Amino acid sequence: MKIVETGFRGLIVIKPVIHTDTRGYFFESYNQFEMKEAGISFSPLQDNESKSLKGVIRGLHYQLNPYPQAKLVRVVMGKIFDVALDIRRDSLTFGKWFGIDLDSENKDQLLIPHGFAHGFSVLSEIAVIQYKCDSFYNAQYERGININDPSLDIYWKLGSTIPVISEKDLAQPNMKDAEFNF
């Protein structure tokens, strides 16, 4: 695997080695030994999968301490624009976001550490996303930031596609009013 730094402490892109032949392809989507060899401490406890249609935007989600979740995100089918927003007050990139196209063709993954809010928009007709988490879901500590917060100015890459956003995500506060303890 190849590790690509993003300029955000702990936020990295992982490019797996893909073996292809006439039968198809094979790659390791997670290898704890290789992660440790690369200096990455990530031990997943929960594996999640979601399916969404074109135009869906999910996010920006996170969990407060003491139950934060680091996530390793990959696309099984389709293409998304994945966004990680740094909400660590002591970070040089606090309040800034990183976005990357993830798709089922290149199989790149994004490792999102604790202290980031996460969201994505679906660019293909359908997208299936899998992500591993290093902590279990805890509804009491779940929080979010509004995806349309004008201070963030996130361009979700949907062009003329009408966004589909849950009521819950639309009701999230802007970053200046959000609760976070990182």
CA distance 68 to 77: 27
> Is residue 170 within 8 Å of residue 164, measured between CB atoms?
no
Distances (CA, A) of 147 to 16, 30, 150, 169: 29, 29, 9, 7
**From the candidates 19, 61, 62, 114, which is the catalytic residue?**
61
> Is residue 73 within 8 Å of residue 116, measured between CB atoms?
no
Active site residue 67: no
Active site residue 62: no
Q: Is the peptide bond before 111 cis (omega within 30 degrees of 0)?
A: no
Name residue 35's beta-bridge partners.
none
Alpha helices in the chain (DSSP H): 32-37, 167-170
Buried b / exposed e across 20-37, counting CB within 10 Å, b at 16+? eeeeeeeeeebeeeebee
**From the candidates 62, 114, 118, 131, which is the catalytic residue?**
131
Q: Catalytic amino acids? A: 61, 131
